[in-house]
Amino acid sequence: MDKRQLYDNFIGIEEEMKRMLSSFETIKSDMTGVLENNAELEIENQHLRERLSEIERQTSKDFNESSDANLSKSRQNLEKLYDQGFHVCNIEGMYGSRRVDDEPCAFCLDLIYGEREI
Ligand SMILES: [Zn+2]
């Protein structure tokens, strides 16, 4: 191997390492984005769980007291949650899941505004 070829090989390896470093930076940046997104979702999930258990407590308390005023209060809670974009119906385990593009849900609306007691 002559000196010229050795030098070319060396430059080739250096360029390869630069490309790899550039790919590495891209992957690192993508990964940061994913981790940030994940953290946001965890916080949102935590808030939603707290909200749900708060509403479940309120609903069961209202149910036990079973007065018209309290029933309408728990409907208001469900309505608030629904307006924030979440299902309050329990069709196929939908309760608490996000309504896609805020699409209306007949089951939720029936639960909130329907005649049936909750
Ligand atoms: Zn629903």
Give distance in angstroms: CA of 106 to centre of ligand 1: 7
Angle at 8 between CA 7 and CA 11, to 5 degrees: 90
Give distance in angstroms: CA of 70 to centre of ligand 1: 22
Q: What's residue 71's pLDDT?
A: 57
Give distance in angstroms: CA of 107 to centre of ligand 1: 5
What end-to-end distance do the CA atoms of the chain give, in Å? 86
Residue 39 corresponds to which tokens in the numbers above? Answer: 């953290």
Give distance in angstroms: CA of 75 to centre of ligand 1: 14
Give distance in angstroms: CA of 98 to centre of ligand 1: 9
Q: What's residue 70's pLDDT?
A: 52
Residue 103, φ and ψ in degrees, nearest 5: -65, 140
Is the model's pTM score more than 0.85?
no
Predicted confidence (pLDDT) per residue in 35-90, tens digit? 999 999 999 999 999 999 888 888 887 766 655 555 577 888 899 999 999 999 88
